[in-house]
Amino acid sequence: KFLPMALRHRLMADIDQALLELVFRILESAGPEASRMAVNMSNQSLGNKEFVRWFQSFLHRLGKLAGSLSFELTEYACAVDTPMAREFASSVRKCGARFGIDHFGLSPTALQTLRDVPPDYIKLGAALVSEAISDESARSVLRAIVQLARSLEVEVIAQGVETSAQIEMLLAVQVLAGQGYFFGAPGGL
């Protein structure tokens, strides 16, 4: 309920900035032992010139800590504004961070997005992972995504992994990383 309201009232830049400040404090206090963290960004924020200026200074301020971060956009955000997504990916990589595409494989244009905005990794949408267990056409789509990602040297991570049957199917199509309740409940900041 909260995020759709924030989007409607154009507050995502403020939310993303507050979250990134919190992430910076966590990384700064952890020092060299900092765990890798992934931060989802809003395309609404990236369309805000003031936020983009702040974000560039934030990346500069991170210094070597940037290597502990991954920044993610949804597949939808990448497809809606491909030039913005490419520019964002380039800016985070220049600072040593990684770029990923979240909720991947849900759109008919997913493979085109993978070529247009090459990420360091993709996170397969939980719906695709769930469907691929019992639907051969979904499994074929999953195989095609994995093959293209591997050819582009893009890591593939499955979301919503909840059963051993999903694990077996994912391993069969060469998805070697996952997240979901099968591995444990999500943690928070």
- Inter-residue long-range contacts of 14-18, CB under 8 Å, 24+ positions, other chains counted: 15/42, 15/45, 16/41, 16/42, 16/45, 16/51, 17/45, 17/51, 17/54, 17/55
* Nearest one of 45, 49, 50 to 71, comparing CA atoms: 45
- How far is residue 109's CA from residue 26's CA, in Å, rounded to a whole number? 36
> Mind listing the pLDDT tens digit for each residue in 87-124?
999 999 999 999 999 999 988 889 999 999 999 999 99
Residues in the chain: 189
Asked if 20 contacts 54 with a C-beta cutoff of 8 angstroms, the reply is no
Predicted local distance difference test score (pLDDT) of residue 79: 93
Residue 85 has pLDDT above 60, yes or no: yes
Q: What separation, in Å, do the N-terminal and C-terminal C-alpha atoms of the chain show?
A: 20
CA 40, 43, 49, 54: dihedral to nearest 10 degrees?
A: 0
Asked if 120 contacts 67 with a C-beta cutoff of 8 angstroms, the reply is no
Going by pLDDT thresholds of 50, 70 and 90, the confidence category of residue 188 is low
Asked if 112 contacts 149 with a C-beta cutoff of 8 angstroms, the reply is no
CB atoms within 10 A of CB 116: 14
> Mind listing the pLDDT tens digit for each residue in 21-66?
999 898 888 877 778 899 999 999 999 999 999 999 999 888 888 9
